Structure 1
Amino acid sequence: MLTIPLAAGVDNAHQRFSVQLGDNLISFEIDFISYLDAPAWSMNIVRGGIRLAAGVMLEPGSDIIQSYRTGIGQMVFTGKDVTLDNLGVDNSLVWIPPVVEI
Structure 2
Amino acid sequence: MLVIPLRPGAANAHQRFSLQLGENLIEFEVDFVSYLDAPAWSMNLIRDGSRLVSGAMLEPGSDVIQIYRTGIGQMVFTGADVTLDNLGVDNSLVWVPPVVEA
Q: What do residues 57-78 of structure 1 show as CA deviations (whole Å, max 9, x unaligned)?
A: 0000011100000000000000
Q: Which residue matches 2:8?
A: 8
Count of aligned pairs between the two proteins: 102
User: What is the CA distance between 1:23 and its match in structure 2?
Assistant: 0.3
Distance across 1 between alignment mates of 2:7 and 2:74: 20
Distance across 2 between alignment mates of 1:29 and 1:47: 12
Q: Which residue matches 2:74?
A: 74
- Unaligned stretches of 5+ residues in structure 2: none
Percent identity, aligned pairs only?
78
- Unaligned stretches of 5+ residues in structure 1: none
Give the TM-score of the pair, scaled to structure 1: 0.99
Q: Which residue matches 1:42?
A: 42
- Structure 1: which 4+ aligned runs deviate by more than 6 Å? none
Give the TM-score of the pair, scaled to structure 2: 0.99
User: What is the CA distance between 1:93 and its match in structure 2?
Assistant: 0.2
Instruction: Quote the RMSD (CA, aligned, Å).
Output: 0.3
Distance across 1 between alignment mates of 2:86 and 2:62: 18
In structure 2, give the amino acid aligned to 1:42: S
